[in-house]
Structures are given as C-alpha cells and as structure tokens.
Amino acid sequence: MSRILLIDNYDSFTYNIFQCLSVLKLGTFNPDIDVIRNDKITVEEVRNKVKEKDGYKAIVISPGPGRPSDAGITMDLIRELGPSYEQGEEFWPGVPILGVCLGHQAIGEVFGGRVILAPEPIHGRTSPIYHQGKGIFAGLPSPFEATRYHSLVVELETLPEVLQPIAWTAGDGLIMGLQHQEYKWIQGVQFHPESFLTKYGQQLLQNFLNLVSNPTDYESAVGGWEV
C-alpha cells in the first residue's frame, strides 16, 4: 500500500489535488490519499503514521487562505517531519513534502524566508513559468503556462541559502518553485499544478511521486536560478 497525506488548509482546490494524485502512480500502485484538515490531526499523530509499515510515504500541503502562520499544523509539520536527523539511536529520514501555493509559502517561512505581498494579486490568471528541468520539473518545457491564485510570495531578497529557487517568472523574477538544498525532498510551487489551465501539471505531480519512489534521484534534482 502506498499512502500520501494531503493536508487541507480549508481550500476549495484541495480535492482537485486529490483527484489529480489519485490517478497517478507511487511506485507501481495508485496511492491511497488521506485528506485531513490542518487542525484535525497533530504532528505526533502524523509522525506515528509515517513510522507504520504502510504509513505515509509523502505529504502534500494544499493551498489555503491567509498566511502560513494561519494554517494549523502546516509549519510545524514541515519543521519537524521534513528534515532528517539523528536523536540517540533513532534516525528520522525526513518525509518528502510538496507544498502548493500556501504550502510553498510555508516552506519558505519555516526555513527563514519572508512572505510578502506580491507586486499585484493574481487570481485565476496564467503565467509562463521558467525552470531548468530539474526535480519536479524534469521533462517539462521551459517556459510552460501555469495558473496562479495568490497575493503573497516568498521574497527573493530574504531567501536563505538553504532554499534554492527552482522556478520563476520572467521580468519580475518572482519565485514560483523552491527546493531545500540539504533536504532535497522538500519542495514547493507557488502556482497550482492541479488547475486544468496549468499545462503539464499532472506530469509535475507525477515527477514528485517518482522522486518519492526513488530517493537517490534527489541528488541530481536541484536546478539553478537564472531569470
């Protein structure tokens, strides 16, 4: 059994993400997906489920209203379960995490970036997204059109060295994708891959599941910043 936890930040797009993921492959199987709201489960409960034999293989964090600090356990989940660490005789390998929109912003904030107002709010418009074809963007053309619904962005100027932009907009150079440099399995996208107006959104989500199935691929997953 392949299970994924989808954290619902009280957003109408959450079940669109669910539908997209449910038809993809995690290894050789379609994943079982648990959709749980951000205040209906604790970090420790998630940790325990990850440890189970058929536990969560990855966490996807949905879009949502407000700021990352408003999103229940979202930031604590990233902070406590994303990184790998050793504690005594216990080794925690880190859980692959994909943040979408608010989830992406939460990744930025957890690791030291600032979330600020975007130059202009974008709601239901498409933009060309540029990238270098690494990680979750493998095999996707650059640029490709993606749907954006957001008024906040992770600020480039305060982005810590541990986070690398892996996707961006032309001209204004707004961060559209992030990846942790050490914990490469922690990634985020500002746009909405689940939207039918986003080209190659399904492939991007499948790329994430492929990386979950083949952790060694993360070593070659990091791209670079080039506006």
Q: In the annotation, is 101 catalytic?
A: yes
Asked if residue 164 lies in contact with residue 111, where contact means CB atoms within 8 angstroms, the answer is no
The gap from C-alpha 100 to its chain's centroid, in whole angstroms, comes to 5
Provide DSSP, 27-91.
TTBPPEEEEEETTSS-HHHHHHHHHSTT-EEEEEE---SS-GGGSTTHHHHHHHHSS-EEETTEE
Take residue 72 and report the two structure tokens written for it: 């229940």
Work out the burial of residue 143: count CB atoms within 10 Å of its CB; fewer than 13 is exposed, 13-18 middle, 19 or more buried: middle
Looking up tokens 């933009």 gives 127
Catalytic-labelled residue, pool 131, 150, 180, 194:
194
d(CA 114, CA 106): 10
Query: How many Cβ atoms are within 10 Å of 53's Cβ, its own excluded?
Result: 5
Q: In the annotation, is 155 catalytic?
A: no
169, containing H or E segment: strand 163-169
d(CA 181, CA 107): 12
Looking up tokens 């929109």 gives 101
Catalytic-labelled residue, pool 20, 101, 109, 131:
101
Q: In the annotation, is 180 catalytic?
A: no
Catalytic-labelled residue, pool 45, 123, 192, 226:
192
d(CA 12, CA 166): 26
The residues carrying an active-site annotation are 101, 192, 194
